[in-house]
Structure 1
């Protein structure tokens, strides 16, 4: 899949990603720093992950708007089925984005059912630990140090909470590998559960239904193809939509924007499509 490079809207933003040795399975991270003083206004595209946005901005900090609700500072963003806008102002807007696969999020956050389609303060989830984490990350001198601190914190939390059911974890992996093109009934047969049990356990542990999860995974695949410059008609066929009109309706329903706008969204994902990987041994 060809890379489009860093989108033009991000010309004034430094982006850092961790070295491969500083990565954990099911977790991706990136650091953002706006070089040019002033306000930022970013539309974030729905993604099949639970995200932590750690606000490292000095001053007023970041503000998030979704579903008519506003949050500030460091937040947990659930499996987002719609548009989220984030903005802020100050001499240097900085944040660390940590994306967690839903099975990993259930361990790191200790719960998941309250996070589907929501934006909540990390303090509401981690209590006073949230402030201590934020202070440690803000005090670090480099992004490499911040990534190292984040990996240590996340590793400890992964070790201290039980995993989701193996059947639920398997169902999620199958959704990802099939790019969302899998029948839930067939998935239930694969794990040896009834459809009702799969929906119940999946929802209780990952905070959404299998059908909605598969829908978001399929959309994510289509969004990446669009971002890579593929024509909508081909994207629709490759992603399992009936036709281009079906793709348009689905993208509009999930994001509130047409496919062309989603293709150009700067905060699409932390991967080689949204921005090229840094040279080996560099955190950019």
Structure 2
């Protein structure tokens, strides 16, 4: 992957977002399409979410690198992934951002992605290739967003959601920009600090602070 300090040129990129009926709580989606596929090298912006980047290109597609490790194709970036770059001759890609509580419901409690970047296939499992092909073959972004929403909802149907106390603590931590004391957060949900820290870490893969 070739490093580049130049800012990405978004003038040649169409960006699509879902209409209200496809919007889901804790999930944001955006579709990107280059007018003329060309080599792109960008530093991914840190975001308080688990990010799925689905490569819908027909050609060489996305290359990504983090922590000295490189991969090719669709990937999943966890919370605090460090320096992450994506490059390649991109045509189209779908970005899905999941709040941590939603990511746990979609990907499962056992998926600890904190500080990591993994291939989409490794995280998503056996349906990854089929789901990518369905998204690639869709005739419009609206159809892709609807397909993606269905895929996400199906994965949550048989998984236990995070505790409401954990979800509330995450929202308070985010809104307080990490400056809220854990003792105070524990008091708000009626748990001890130790119990909150244990449940929060077990379910989201990070500590409350």
Which residue of structure 1 aligns with residue 37 of structure 2? 37
Partner of 1:183: 181
Structure with more strand by fraction: 2
Alignment map for 1:1-284 (pairs within 5 Å): 9-89=9-89, 92-111=90-109, 113-211=111-209
Greater RCO, CA 8 A, separation 6+ = 1
Counterpart CA distance in 2 for 1:8 and 1:198 is 41
Is the Cα–Cα contact under 8 Å of residues 53 and 97 in structure 1 kept in the other structure?
A: yes
Listed one character per residue, the Cα deviations across residues 143-185 of structure 1 (whole Å, up to 9, x for unaligned) are: 0110010111111112221101121111012123334331112
Aligned length: 203
- Pair 1:106–1:88, CA change in 2 (3 A): same
- 1:81/1:195 CA distance change after superposition, 3 Å: farther
Structure with greater proportional helix content: 1
SS for the counterpart of 2:157 is helix
Cα deviation, residue 8, structure 1: 7.2
* Contact 1:79–1:116, Cα closer than 8 Å, also in 2: yes
Question: What TM-score results when the alignment is normalised by the length of structure 2?
Answer: 0.91
Equivalent-residue separation in structure 2 for 1:69 and 1:112 (angstroms): 22
Report the RMSD for the aligned CA atoms in angstroms.
1.6
Structure 1 residues without counterparts, runs of 5 or longer: 1-6, 212-284
**Whole-angstrom CA distance in 1 between matches of 2:67 and 2:81:** 11
Which consecutive residues of structure 2, in runs of 5 or more, have no partner in the other structure?
1-6
- Aligned-partner Cα distance in 1 for 2:91–2:165: 41
Contact 1:42–1:87 under 8 Å retained in 2: yes
Residues 197-231 of structure 1 deviation map (CA, whole Å, 9 limit, x = unaligned):
222211111011111xxxxxxxxxxxxxxxxxxxx
